[in-house]
C-alpha cells in the first residue's frame, strides 16, 4: 500500500480544520492502493490546532535530537511531531509500504520545503519530521507536486505487483 497524507485525500485534518484535496490523487484513490495518514492526528493533536514550525532546522535534525518545533503560541511541540513520525513509521512497516506521498511544506510531511520557523510564511529547503523518519527507513517519499498520471500509474502498478491485497 502507498501512504498518502490524509489532507491530500480530502480529510479535514489540517491545522486550520481544512484539507488540501488533490484532484489527481483523489482520482487514483479509487484504485484502492492508498492509506490515508496524518502524523499530527496520530500524535493525538486536535483539529483545529495552532500552526507549528520547526525552529530553523530540518526534520532530520529534530530526529537527531538537535532541533525543536514550536506552535504559533510559543509552546514546544517537538515530542508530538516525533510521536507522529514514529506512529507513521509503524503503519508503514505494518503495511510493508515502500512509498509515501506527503504534503509539501508541513513540519511533519514536508518533502523538500518547510517553513523557516519565523511564522512569516517564508519557506526553506528541508524535510518534515515524519518524512525524515520514513526516508531514514528506506521509503521513497514524494510530494503532491511530483504527481503526474504517469507517475501514479507506475506507483500503483508497482504496489499491485508487490502486494496481494
Residues that bind ligand SF4 (CB under 6 A): 5-7, 13-14, 38-40, 103, 106, 108-109
| The three cell numbers locating residue 101 | 506521498
Residue placing its CB nearer to ligand SF4 in the complex, 9 or 150: 9
Instruction: Report, in Å, the least distance between residue 164 CB and ligand SF4.
Output: 27
Residue placing its CB nearer to ligand SF4 in the complex, 125 or 157: 125
Which runs of E-coded beta strand occur in the chain?
A: 2-5, 34-37, 52-54, 69-71, 99-102, 113-115, 123-125, 140-143
Residue placing its CB nearer to ligand SF4 in the complex, 2 or 7: 7
Instruction: Report, in Å, the least distance between residue 41 CB and ligand SF4.
Output: 6
Instruction: Report, in Å, the least distance between residue 147 CB and ligand SF4.
Output: 15
Check: CB of residue 114 under 8 Å from CB of residue 74.
Answer: no
Residue placing its CB nearer to ligand SF4 in the complex, 37 or 152: 37
Q: What residues pair up with 54 in beta bridges, in sequence order?
A: 69
Instruction: Report, in Å, the least distance between residue 109 CB and ligand SF4.
Output: 3
Residues 37 and 5: their CA atoms lie apart, in Å, by: 5
Q: How many Å separate Cα 155 from the centre of its chain?
A: 17
Amino acid at each position: 500500500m502507498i501512504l498518502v497524507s490524509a489532507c491530500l485525500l480530502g480529510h479535514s485534518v489540517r491545522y486550520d480544520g481544512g484539507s488540501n484535496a488533490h484532484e489527481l490523487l483523489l482520482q487514483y484513490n479509487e484504485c484502492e492502493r492508498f492509506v490515508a495518514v496524518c502524523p499530527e492526528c496520530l500524535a493525538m493533536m486536535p483539529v483545529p490546532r495552532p500552526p507549528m514550525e520547526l525552529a530553523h532546522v530540518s526534520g532530520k535534525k529534530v530526529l537527531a535530537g538537535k532541533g525543536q518545533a514550536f506552535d504559533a503560541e510559543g509552546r514546544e511541540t517537538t515530542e508530538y511531531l516525533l510521536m507522529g513520525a514514529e506512529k507513521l513509521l509503524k503503519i508503514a512497516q505494518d503495511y510493508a509500504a515502500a512509498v509515501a506521498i506527503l504534503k509539501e511544506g508541513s513540519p511533519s510531511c514536508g518533502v523538500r520545503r518547510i517553513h523557516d520557523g519565523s511564522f512569516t510564511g517564508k519557506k526553506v529547503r528541508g524535510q518534515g519530521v515524519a518524512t525524515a523518519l520514513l526516508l531514514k527507513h528506506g521509503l521513497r517519499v514524494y510530494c503532491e507536486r511530483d504527481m503526474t498520471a504517469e507517475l501514479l500509474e507506475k506507483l500503483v502498478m508497482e504496489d499491485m505487483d508487490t502486494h496481494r491485497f
